[in-house]
Structure 1
């Protein structure tokens, strides 16, 4: 009897002891979980906490998630029925999630959203419960959480896995260009983005067709989410990577270190000194405007790196950092097998067929397209440079000025991507070297096919318009009562230059990037804010007029590839050369008209047509059946000297 009683007491003690141990384990685990939840609270994104506290309109307030104290109680309740090992397995098999608010639509548009919808600005907004019908995003339907702010948008709640902290966003493409990315793509600027659904290596055109997460912001662009440790990142342009050990081939420091060198080194430093120097220490620089780039951004505008695979071409072609003669081209994002990569390849191919000179491509995109093969094209050098900062907008085509500074070419011919060259184009290098000199230190443009008064920016009865469709100020400084004091007919933005013209290029780039204003000349409204000159062609022409330049090439950038039928078509030589001039006459600068010169084609926007014409030119040239390149009034001439002998009244140069 005593033994049975002792046994019962022993069992009771063991049960109580076991219960105490279980309770201790439960409490310990609950405390651990509470600490873990507190850590999660500390890392909870600010905008998620704000969203939880926002006003909700959809018939009722949002259903809040359980409080931390409730979660602690649940932990105590579930611990007794779930072992720590089971909980550990559950924890490791679940991925923490977070709420992401993605752009859905702009103000006065409709938003289709499967989750909750947020309306307002980043700081002032209201959150609405899901509904099946689209949302009408305006203050009448939804109220006005941010009165007077026209940047209000609708955003849709997306629940997904917490983003990896080791991933980073890098620039992919400017507005209107293509972005190809192995990860996610986001579209917008600053703090306003729309994240696109992942489409592996499917090019995305970066336009407002994707939506407008930042209304009125001209700096919108696409960015690519990348893993810094991936092989893909190793092929990115060093100019867009957050961190890169690749050495630069041009920079302010490199230019400054050579400023006591040869004449071209000295002119190069004169060209970039205004970009590379701190204006606070240079009293000679004019005052910068409100839209000026920062001092740091200005200095980075001449940074460049050799593209992967092109180091051997660069080392073989350049001497002491310079090329004697070369073509220079610039281009933005051009993913492989897309239209602009193929267009640019036809330009590169034509240079390798019809010229002995190198071609330098300054690339402002993320990845060099495969079509630009350094072995297939041994006289091709590709350099990377960063796009313009998106905090202060500049049009992409102003990168033309940067490309002329970065390429370091003593005598150059600038080519746009929608061009290709033709046989005998190399003859232009010698003429460019003769006409551009220390006594004429300006770039020289080919004459435009339109007369000045036919240009859209010319001040007619309704005023001129810019390329962007706004009011043009190009002629305001030079025209009074229908009379204009310009020094040349309008020129196309395909200049030749020598190193003597680099200070001109650098000065006008600096004036634009620093938002400088030209002082008034005689008459009212003759001050000119340089940022109101919105495209490269306008800036080149105004710069020429300001410097009193007068030289102009004949039309060597033929208006369209189809015009090459004049050169390729079999014809009987005319008895007299008295047809109308191919470039129409104007009363002041070219009263006899101007000649066409078949050195390059412009507007070559179909790579298949370009490839066919290049093949035809090659075949005809090799067979000796191609006419001479200079064409005027129905006849062909070997060069400018022959043209002048037959038509001494022609004023354009060739």
Structure 2
């Protein structure tokens, strides 16, 4: 049979395959660290011809019986226990693999495809949109197998035909291997629909079925075409089983395992006498009012995502399911949403700049954590039921704090990135929030929401509170220790009670006694009802959002501790030394502006520039020798610093020049992370109490 050159359709399919490979490499493991990390050791799905069966392959990372019971957290080496295999290499290794593939295997047409893709991105195309389009190129599941005349090995069904005409004859029964020839598909020579032209065979994996005969729900799995636990079994069943010991977590096929409940017999707990037992006691007592409401009991159950069981075992111990220090965030909604991509960037930043884990609390059964998260050994995922009674989704922030069970925590939204030095906030939080100061501490907001004359943002004045303000409006990015759990529990119960629409009352812990009498919060809550005061509950303007209610409830307790601003807008990281001396000024609280701490970035909702900014931070994290930067007088913002615009993208085409100059964009933030009143400081400890001689003492804390 006479053959012709490859069709354009065939070429485009080759391009699509290359692009898929490229973006997979780009997003799988976004950390530059070269160390190897353990594979997430979950029961691996084993697929037969039409039925799924699950093999229990759970990592046995239990501590030995004789281990020190006072040990608080698992060490990184615990991950190697149980013979965990290695996951895919991280981003540096992925880039090296791509270079090797280009150098030795890639065809001329494949190289053209990569060049075209690079040119498209450099012109300012949205990388996220392109990624999504590439992932949808082959929605029907058919993939190239062989050319006509060759043997096709396929685990599912095959078809024979012409790409250009899109005419195919499908083999109705499973047969592998099969010769890619018209005779194998019931065609006679005179039935050839494109005489003289080379045809192809394609393969489509079989549609899996669940052991119970039900259809496999591919939408519940992170990767199309790959099986997963949630494809067959429901998440968070309504009738949870009895408590599963830590050593047997996720040893079966369930997608989730219950680890905390109002029924404390079904909760993993610290060993008796462990230092975390006090935190567990505070949690149980702080949640007692919520647990009295049968409608809310299911909403406080905490389920471990079994795809992350290896990480959970790594960061906890057989002595306690609590984690000593961790970042906490929350997410929900459909798969492949903007929130998922925001959270992916957050995970990347924590992998770059922190030694602590990130706990992600997923709300509802719709969201599917992407497979790239599973390969990150510092990511732990829990799942909870959706919030009820029409309460804002943002109150899941408070639920995630209560669910996380961390001794010292920092809450981050998905549209945040952390920067070098953010881990110092754990130390400051532990120092400030004690058994004699049982309230969370929030960073000061970038605007003051009061109507003081001269306030540049007086038109945003908050009208939901008639009482006195004990401090300026704060941003809802709380830090806390376990001593603040009763405050969060009371806030959450009050909000859920108000959502019923009834005028009622409840009892809350009288935390002000801690400061007035010197009693510890532990001793206070153990008094039970005697330590509580009556509070009238009615829906008000102060309850619509979590930030409103947090501020009002802190003012209500007359506390005035807030962090100096450490959750900054992205552009502040790229303005070099061109910052306003009175940054975030207001005439009442901060007439001289406030110290800004370059520790984290907030408002990274636009994925594309955030992705590029994070890559810049990664590039420069270890500094650059002999960095020569223009003076601030000659450059307000260099073109190379205008992340995401076309000029900056074109400059990145010259890799050597870009790498040598781009780190100037972040100068001097690497070496001087604090700015206040025109001065840069080399460490948090150097920040003075006053902006200048004769000025009032600053009202915010430095971690």
**How far apart are 1:358 and its partner, in Å?**
0.2
Equivalent-residue separation in structure 2 for 1:301 and 1:272 (angstroms): 12
Equivalent-residue separation in structure 2 for 1:379 and 1:601 (angstroms): 20
Note the alpha carbon deviations across 1:473-493, whole angstroms, 9 max, x for none.
Answer: x213x1xxxxxx111111000
Which residue among 691, 700, 703 is the counterpart of 1:647? Answer: 691
1:13 alignment counterpart: none
Tell me if structure 2 keeps the 8 A contact 1:251–1:304.
yes
State how many pairs are aligned: 378
Higher RCO (C-alpha under 8 Å, 6+ residues apart): 2
2:355 alignment counterpart: 356
Tell me if structure 2 keeps the 8 A contact 1:345–1:372.
no
CA 1:306–1:359: 2 relative to 1, 3 Å: same
Tell me if structure 2 keeps the 8 A contact 1:343–1:607.
yes
The answer to whether the aligner puts 1:235 opposite 2:230 as a matched pair is yes
Superposition pairs of residues 238-387 of structure 1, within 5 angstroms? 246-254=256-264, 262-277=277-292, 295-319=293-317, 320-336=320-336, 338-371=337-370, 373-387=372-386
1:69 alignment counterpart: none
Equivalent-residue separation in structure 2 for 1:405 and 1:640 (angstroms): 29
CA 1:367–1:518: 2 relative to 1, 3 Å: closer
1:34 alignment counterpart: none
1:205 alignment counterpart: none
Tell me if structure 1 keeps the 8 A contact 2:286–2:486.
yes
1:563 alignment counterpart: 572
Superposition pairs of residues 128-277 of structure 1, within 5 angstroms? 229-232=214-217, 234-235=229-230, 246-254=256-264, 262-277=277-292
Structure 1, unmatched stretches of 5+, are: 1-179, 183-225, 278-294, 466-471, 479-484, 520-525
Equivalent-residue separation in structure 1 for 2:608 and 2:360 (angstroms): 21
Superposition pairs of residues 608-619 of structure 1, within 5 angstroms? 608-619=608-619
SS in structure 1 at match of 2:567: strand
1:580 alignment counterpart: 581
Equivalent-residue separation in structure 2 for 1:464 and 1:527 (angstroms): 25
Superposition pairs of residues 405-554 of structure 1, within 5 angstroms? 405-453=402-450, 474-476=464-466, 478=467, 485-515=468-498, 516-517=504-505, 529-530=538-539, 532=541, 533-554=543-564
Equivalent-residue separation in structure 2 for 1:639 and 1:409 (angstroms): 27
Equivalent-residue separation in structure 1 for 2:266 and 2:451 (angstroms): 44
Tell me if structure 1 keeps the 8 A contact 2:418–2:599.
yes
Tell me if structure 2 keeps the 8 A contact 1:342–1:371.
no
Equivalent-residue separation in structure 2 for 1:619 and 1:646 (angstroms): 35
Note the alpha carbon deviations across 1:219-278, whole angstroms, 9 max, x for none.
Answer: xxxxxxx9993332641795565666643112112389759762211111121111113x
Tell me if structure 2 keeps the 8 A contact 1:363–1:384.
yes
**How far apart are 1:315 and its partner, in Å?**
0.8
Larger displacement relative to structure 2 (295-304 or 414-423): 295-304
Equivalent-residue separation in structure 2 for 1:414 and 1:492 (angstroms): 11
Equivalent-residue separation in structure 2 for 1:581 and 1:489 (angstroms): 16
Equivalent-residue separation in structure 2 for 1:631 and 1:608 (angstroms): 27
TM-score, L = length of structure 2 = 0.49
Tell me if structure 2 keeps the 8 A contact 1:264–1:410.
yes
Note the alpha carbon deviations across 1:340-364, whole angstroms, 9 max, x for none.
Answer: 2111100111111110100000001
Equivalent-residue separation in structure 2 for 1:461 and 1:355 (angstroms): 37
Tell me if structure 1 keeps the 8 A contact 2:240–2:258.
no
Equivalent-residue separation in structure 2 for 1:528 and 1:438 (angstroms): 27
SS in structure 2 at match of 1:452: coil
**How far apart are 1:311 and its partner, in Å?**
0.7
Equivalent-residue separation in structure 2 for 1:413 and 1:228 (angstroms): 45
Greater Rg by CA: 1
Output the aligned Cα RMSD. Answer: 3.4
Equivalent-residue separation in structure 1 for 2:322 and 2:682 (angstroms): 31
Note the alpha carbon deviations across 1:313-343, whole angstroms, 9 max, x for none.
Answer: 111112311110000001111412x322111
**How far apart are 1:461 and its partner, in Å?**
12
SS in structure 1 at match of 2:397: helix
Tell me if structure 1 keeps the 8 A contact 2:441–2:479.
yes
Equivalent-residue separation in structure 1 for 2:430 and 2:439 (angstroms): 12
1:636 alignment counterpart: 680
Equivalent-residue separation in structure 1 for 2:435 and 2:213 (angstroms): 48
CA 1:251–1:528: 2 relative to 1, 3 Å: closer
